Chain A
Amino acid sequence: MRGYSALEDVPMVIPIALALILFFSSLTWAINTVNSVNRRVDTTVATIRVADAFAQWGVLTGDTWDLSCKVIRDQEKSVYFSAHLVKPDDLEDFLNSFSDRFDLKSCESVASRKPGGSSVYVRFFPVTYQELKKGVVENKVYFLVVRTWPKG
């Protein structure tokens, strides 16, 4: 009788290894994709939360902006954010530079990491802001620009 040699099983080891590598690589990729998508959705929801803190007043004034800023800074813990009130005419300049020369008001969370790269999420929404000019009250269309970026 011919003896058994372990070398007879060597050819099977290679395809098993290949199969396992293929499967676990796909699994890792799928898990990373799902996590990345979930983070993106969480950021979207956080952006709307921040925007709504200011927008829910109906008409924004200087006082309601400051109050909303205080509230959302205390409450929003899942992401870092900055919110800016920008005139429609200045919107493009602001988005090009994010300079405070172009925003009327701003509100930022206390962030240990500055925004940068592809992880920053920027969205803008129309709001009404009350202006007082020569004793006349006007509710003008402004834009609320909200930037969010993940912690860690």
Chain B
Amino acid sequence: MAKGVATLMDTVFLLLISGVASAILFYSAANYGKTLEQQSSALLLDYYARQAVRVMSTATILRPGCDTPDYLLAYLKEKAYFGGLADRDTLETIGGVMSEIMLPLRSAYDYAVAIRVGSSDDSNVYLFAWYREYTGGGFEEKDACYVVNQSSYMGWLAEFRSPTYSYSVPVRFRVKGDPDYYVVGRLQMIIWPAGAGFPDPGGTDLCN
């Protein structure tokens, strides 16, 4: 009898140890797969953002009222020079190029373009965004543009609760009044999952 009970206990312990070891293996393998899948997706989306910025900085557009193409970046630099970057015209011009660039991802991701004119903390950052907002009846597509200073912009970026994928390149902007003086700013693209919300960057939406 005692031997039978001992055998039974040995059996139970053996199966328990084996079961725990199997569960640990299962959990580790599943976790490994999930982690790498997330990193793999992040790698691809970061690369997509990089390509989006490259395309923005080299694409040509037809300016309103013109029939010869010009660089989109030249158009933006000119508008920044005259201080009129944050307006509906700019939003629609950039938006036209962005809707082509983001064509495959538009259904699942929201995105924004940030143009930083200068590198100091009080430099202006022009933020153009295309996002979806939940309004009770469903998701509504919206666009907006803001002018904020650099520190507000960094705060806006930090407020995102969902992962963001971004890339930026340096861009030179001319300063009005001094033909020899340039400031170095940045052109940045930010992508995030649709429906994650759009943190308020502060200030007024100048395009609506």
Contact = CB atoms under 8 A, between A and B. Distances in A.
A91 B30 CA distance: 35
Contacts of B37: 37, 40
Interface string B54-98: 110111100000001101000000000000000000000000010
A84 B29 CA distance: 35
A6 B10 CA distance: 17
Interface stretch (A73-81, A109-117, A121-129): A121-129
Contacts of B10: 12, 15
Nearest to B11: A15
A52 B47 CA distance: 9
Contact of A16 (B14, B26, B97): B14
A98 interface: no
Contacts of B51: 51, 55, 125-127
Contacts of A20: 18
Interface string B164-192: 00000000000000000000000000000
Q: Is the interface of A mostly helix, strand, loop or mixed?
A: helix
A143 B104 contact: yes
Contacts of B97: 141
B104 A34 contact: no
How many B residues touch the partner, as a band? 35 or more
A152 interface: no
A52 B51 CA distance: 9
A3 interface: no
A47 B43 CA distance: 11
B117 interface: no
Contact of B36 (A37, A47, A58): A37
A137 to B, nearest CB: 8
B103 interface: yes
A42 to B, nearest CB: 10
Given A15-B11, A23-B21, A33-B29, A140 B36 contact: no
Of A12, A26, A140, most buried by chain B (CB within 10 Å of CB) is A26
A36 B40 CA distance: 13
B68 A128 contact: no
Q: Which 10 A-B residue pairs are closest in the complex by CB-CB distance?
A: A19-B18, A26-B22, A30-B29, A15-B11, A33-B29, A141-B100, A30-B25, A128-B58, A126-B101, A26-B25
8 contacts: A22-B15, A33-B29, A37-B37, A51-B47, A125-B51, A137-B69, A139-B60, A139-B69
Interface of A: 8, 11-12, 15-16, 18-20, 22-23, 25-27, 29-30, 33-34, 36-38, 40-41, 44-45, 47-48, 51-52, 55, 58-59, 88, 91, 123-128, 136-141, 143
Given A41-B40, A143-B103, 16 more contacts: A8-B3, A15-B10, A19-B14, A19-B17, A19-B18, A26-B22, A30-B28, A37-B36, A38-B36, A40-B36, A124-B104, A126-B48, A126-B100, A127-B51, A138-B60, A141-B55
